[in-house]
Amino acid sequence: MFRHVRTKPLVVLWAAMAAAWGIAVGSQGSDEPPAITANEAIRRLRDGNTRYVLGKSIHPDSGAARRRATSEHGQHPFATVLGCSDSRVPVELLFDQGIGDLFVVRVAGNVCNLDEAGSIEYGTDHLGTPLLVVLGHTQCGAVTAVATGAELHGNIAPLAGSIRPAVAKAQETHPELRGADLIPAAIEANVWQAIEDLLRRSPLVSSRVREEKLKIVGAIYDLESGRVKWLGEHPRQKSLLGDRSAPSQEGSPKKPVQPGKHPAAPQHGES
Ligand SMILES: [Zn+2]
Each residue's pLDDT tens digit, 213-265: 999 999 999 999 999 999 999 999 999 998 766 554 444 444 444 433 333 33
Angle at 154 between CA 149 and CA 156, to 5 degrees: 55
Output the CA 50–ligand 1 centroid distance in Å: 22
Output the CA 143–ligand 1 centroid distance in Å: 7
Output the CA 4–ligand 1 centroid distance in Å: 46
Which of these ranges, 99-103, 108-112, 247-251, has the smallest mean pLDDT? Answer: 247-251
Output the CA 139–ligand 1 centroid distance in Å: 7
Output the CA 220–ligand 1 centroid distance in Å: 11
Which of these ranges, 17-21, 125-129, 192-196, has the smallest mean pLDDT? Answer: 17-21
Output the CA 83–ligand 1 centroid distance in Å: 8
User: What is the average pLDDT value for the chain, to the nearest integer?
Assistant: 84
Mean pLDDT, rounded, for 54-58: 98
Output the CA 136–ligand 1 centroid distance in Å: 7
Q: What is the per-residue pLDDT for 35?
A: 76
Angle at 164 between CA 160 and CA 166, to 5 degrees: 125
Output the CA 111–ligand 1 centroid distance in Å: 10
Q: What is the per-residue pLDDT for 244?
A: 61
Output the CA 98–ligand 1 centroid distance in Å: 23
Torsion of CA 186, 187, 188, 190, to 10 degrees: 80
Fold of 34-240: Beta-carbonic Anhydrase; Chain A (3.40.1050)
Output the CA 133–ligand 1 centroid distance in Å: 15
Number of Cβ within a 10 Å radius of residue 33: 9
Task: Parse the chain into domains and list their residue ranges.
Answer: 34-240
Burial of 210: CB neighbours in 10 Å, binned 0-12, 13-18, 19+: middle
Output the CA 169–ligand 1 centroid distance in Å: 18
**Could you write out the DSSP letters of every residue in 245-271?**
TSPP--S----PPPTT----S--TT--
Output the CA 271–ligand 1 centroid distance in Å: 4
Burial of 180: CB neighbours in 10 Å, binned 0-12, 13-18, 19+: middle
Residue 123 amino acid letter: G
